[in-house]
Structure 1
Amino acid sequence: MNFPEKIKIKRCLLIIDMQYDFISGSLKVSGGEELVMKIAEYLKENSDNFDLIVFTKDDHPREHVSFASNHKSKVPFDEYTYVSKNDSSHVFKSCLWPDHCVVGTPGNEIHNDLTSLILNEHIGKTKTIVVGKGKNLNREYYSCFNDVLEEDFTELQEILETELISEVFICGLAYDYCVINSAKSSVQLGFTTFVAENLTRKIDSSWECNEPGVKVVTQF
């Protein structure tokens, strides 16, 4: 009997939202500058361990729904509820934010110490791409796959499936928002999903990951 060759497991590294507004700007995450250095060092030594590297980034229009400045009598961090236009009972409670990652501003850009590693759309031998999220002014995105109501989607799922990715490793900013929500979506879509805890930073220092199905790697 002839057995088929063992199928190679293909891995993607998702680097979430390492943009200037989250590192040193309007929504600065503590430890962001240090994290840039750690991820850059990791990529220099380990990029070839992956079959695909994806940088994600908030790509917001100035009129974005998540900005407090676009709501009368609201200030940053006020509570806000997102309601589906298709089903008013389908809601997501969150908060409003300071303006951040507006397309065309310096705060929107991924840190140069990371993008400078990309040469001819590769880091080392590994294909490297950038995927934007939150482009629709009426949709709030934490996950890099879908909006908070899970009704609007980026192209990332299709990209990973086209590249035959089965394992997804996630790092970046911020652990308790866009990193964990991206990991949650990744699990729901059937990818074996890991979070590199030492290559993330939190907004809320007391927050702990307890998302079912997400495999936390403490030393990546």
Structure 2
Amino acid sequence: MGLALKPTDTLIVIDLQNDFCPGGALAVNDGDTIVPLVNRLQQQFRHVVLTQDWHPAGHISFASAHPDKQPFELIQLGYGPQVLWPDHCVQASTGAAFHPGLETTRAELMVRKGYNPQVDSYSAFLDNDHATPTGLAGALRERGLGRLFFCGLAYDYCVFYSAVDAVAQGFEAYVIEDACRAIDLHGSKAAAKQTMVELGVHLISSDDLL
């Protein structure tokens, strides 16, 4: 494909945190293996944004907050369906910290999400109620940054929701597939890929940029 990057292009690194890497509370298979590639990609972009899952203890998305439920069960909450997760990315914990190998010095903005105890937040743009913004869209627009490239964890959850919301917010969205890893819960990876294509998200490889 061979994409020429523009000065206003932005790399958004989604949730490359210890709890989503092997040994973490909600580990994504091979999640840590993308860190060197993500670091290389950062060098190609003038603008880099990092997102960070940042849950209070007892968050409503934790299975432990529902005594009769188990991790990965699906329940209905006031804002819609919610997968129940193991406790993860609890504020100020080691699990919530960025992977130690991730380059963070070039990031000019860090967006924390999921800190409302009553609403989960997969997307970098909106909580799962699809109404409460994180402020990222406004920050990008104010600075004239419109073409967004996503990588990180997990492909079929936070990367997927972020890319889809980016398109809905009027941005041009690209997902760098080999710089992501998926949870793939009940076929979620294939479903996410199909939906992204249908909604106009561009799926590319790091080879298109490096």
| Secondary structure at the counterpart of residue 108 of structure 1 | coil
Q: Is the 8 Å Cα contact of residues 11 and 52 (structure 1) preserved in structure 2? A: yes
* C-alpha distance in 1 between matches for 2:130 and 2:7: 28
Q: Does 1:107 align with 2:95?
A: yes
Choose from 136, 146, 150 the match for 2:116.
Answer: 136
**Corresponding position of 1:213:** 200
Choose from 59, 82, 87 the match for 1:64.
Answer: 59
| Secondary structure at the counterpart of residue 106 of structure 1 | coil
- 201-210 or 185-194: bigger deviation: 201-210
| Secondary structure at the counterpart of residue 49 of structure 2 | strand
For residues 51-89 of structure 1, the C-alpha deviation after alignment (integer angstroms, 9 at most, x for no partner) is 4211001010002110010112111111111214xxxxx
Q: How many residues align?
A: 194
Identity across matched positions, percent: 36
Choose from 75, 81, 95 the match for 2:83.
Answer: 95
Q: Is the 8 Å Cα contact of residues 9 and 167 (structure 1) preserved in structure 2? A: no
Counterpart code for 2:38: I
Q: Is the 8 Å Cα contact of residues 61 and 82 (structure 2) preserved in structure 1? A: no
| Secondary structure at the counterpart of residue 40 of structure 2 | helix
1:97-176 → structure 2 map (5 Å cutoff): 97-115=85-103, 117-118=104-105, 123=106, 128-176=108-156
Superposition misfits of 4+ residues, deviation over 2 angstroms = 205-208
Q: Does 1:185 align with 2:165?
A: yes
1:9 Cα deviation from its structure 2 partner:
6.2
Q: Is the 8 Å Cα contact of residues 66 and 140 (structure 1) preserved in structure 2? A: yes
For the aligned residue pairs, the C-alpha RMSD in angstroms reads 1.7
Counterpart code for 1:56: T
Consecutive unaligned residues of structure 1, counting only runs of 5 or more, are: 1-7, 85-91
Q: Is the 8 Å Cα contact of residues 195 and 217 (structure 1) preserved in structure 2? A: yes
TM-score normalised by L of structure 1: 0.83
| Secondary structure at the counterpart of residue 88 of structure 2 | coil
Q: Which has the larger radius of gyration?
A: 1
Q: Is the 8 Å Cα contact of residues 174 and 201 (structure 2) preserved in structure 1? A: yes
Consecutive unaligned residues of structure 2, counting only runs of 5 or more, are: 1-5
Q: Is the 8 Å Cα contact of residues 170 and 195 (structure 1) preserved in structure 2? A: yes
TM-score normalised by L of structure 2: 0.87
Counterpart code for 1:74: K
